[in-house]
Amino acid sequence: MKHIFNEVHYELTRKIAEGGMGMVYEAVQRGIGGFRKKVAIKLIREEYSAIDEFRNNFIGEAKLVADLIHTNIVQTYHLGKTGEQYFMTMEYVSGCNLEEFLERHVETDQYIPADLAVFIASRICRGLAYAHRKKDAQDRLLGIVHRDVNPKNIMIAMEGDVKLTDFGIAKALDLMYNQEGEVIAGKDEYLSPEQARCEITDQRADLFCCGIVMSELMLGYNIFETPQPEKTIENILEMPLPNFSDIRPDIDDRLNLIMHTALRRPRDERYQSAEEMLTELESFIYGEGYGPTNEKLAAYIYDVFSQDGENAALRWHRGETQFAPQ
């Protein structure tokens, strides 16, 4: 039986982020009987909506993530069009992105507690593991590779949930608009060696990027990044990895080995799946019993963002420090 429903109504309440190709808004979805739901709206600029490549890429992203329903991935609810502009309705995450979280620790001159840094990395791996093994309706493995795992694309909710977002340059079965071998897809300072060399990637590329993010969570800076993009890429390809324990003493030998394994250049020597890396991380933090939880992370985040005083704490509690998917 076929039913035709009225169009969903959205009220844009504030702009959260703006980039070269589009904007992200906080919005309220309205329905009958006073129904209200806070959502995020990702809107592609009208001039880019008119270009086949960008429009198809945007639509491809929405179709790819529509069925990615997992606690560690920002959910996409709807793909629509208003006038000549395409938009996606997405889960609204009240909290901050990982870049903001890292910057807060630099501002306050403190390390992220090691167990919470590993916990955050493990939740990223959980989201990647789910995406990597996702199949389509014909039971074909989609072969998703995110290719853009970096702090701006990782959200932390007030409740302590860690969520991966922005599959805009992901590749998958029947979806690849940025042809590997011709262009570098991803941010220079968060590339796997395969991406830096314009090689064909698989899921192990995302694990190297996750390793970069984890080392940044532990140290407070990206070990490969320099002001010169060429030098940054050279570092990713060739720079000897430090002994992380020498930089931060509470990184023990076991954690140092986990970080080194994630960052091995030959992909056959790296973790071979997100599940394998996840197992190592969770064994590390839970091997002796009780370990970090969403609730512990939530309490810690509230404390970190309240160090400027009561007003900052209240803003965090009300969700006014929200950063949505880019």
pLDDT tens readout for residues 194-225:
999 989 899 999 999 999 999 999 999 999 99
What average pLDDT does the structure give for the chain? Answer: 87
Q: Examine the pLDDT at 149 and tell me if it is beyond 70.
A: yes
Q: Is 128 helix (H, G, I), strand (E, B) or coil?
A: helix
118 or 166, higher pLDDT? 118
> Smallest Cα–Cα separation from 132: which of 147, 149, 145?
145
Q: Are 326 and 166 in contact (CB under 8 A)?
A: yes
pLDDT tens readout for residues 247-292:
999 999 999 999 999 999 999 999 999 999 999 999 999 988 888 9
Q: Residues 134-153: what's their mean pLDDT?
A: 92
Give the CATH H-level superfamily of domain 9-91: Phosphorylase Kinase; domain 1 (3.30.200.20)
The DSSP string of 246-311 is: HHSTTS-HHHHHHHHHHT-SSGGGS-SSHHHHHHHHHHHHHTTS----HHHHHHHHHHHHTTT-HH
The lowest-confidence range among 11-25, 29-43, 67-81, 110-124 is: 11-25
Active site residue 148: yes
Taking the C-alpha atoms of residue 228 and residue 236, their distance in angstroms, rounded to an integer, is 13
User: pLDDT band at 150, cuts 50/70/90?
Assistant: very high
Identify the architecture of domain 95-303 in CATH.
Orthogonal Bundle (1.10)
Most confident of the ranges 13-17, 120-124, 311-315: 120-124
Taking the C-alpha atoms of residue 106 and residue 96, their distance in angstroms, rounded to an integer, is 15
Write down the catalytic residue from 148, 166, 188, 206: 148
Q: Examine the pLDDT at 321 and tell me if it is beyond 70.
A: no
pLDDT given at position 317: 44
Q: Examine the pLDDT at 144 and tell me if it is beyond 80.
A: yes
pLDDT given at position 136: 87
Task: Look up the pTM and report it.
Answer: 0.89
Taking the C-alpha atoms of residue 322 and residue 187, their distance in angstroms, rounded to an integer, is 23
Q: Domain ranges in the chain? A: 9-91, 95-303
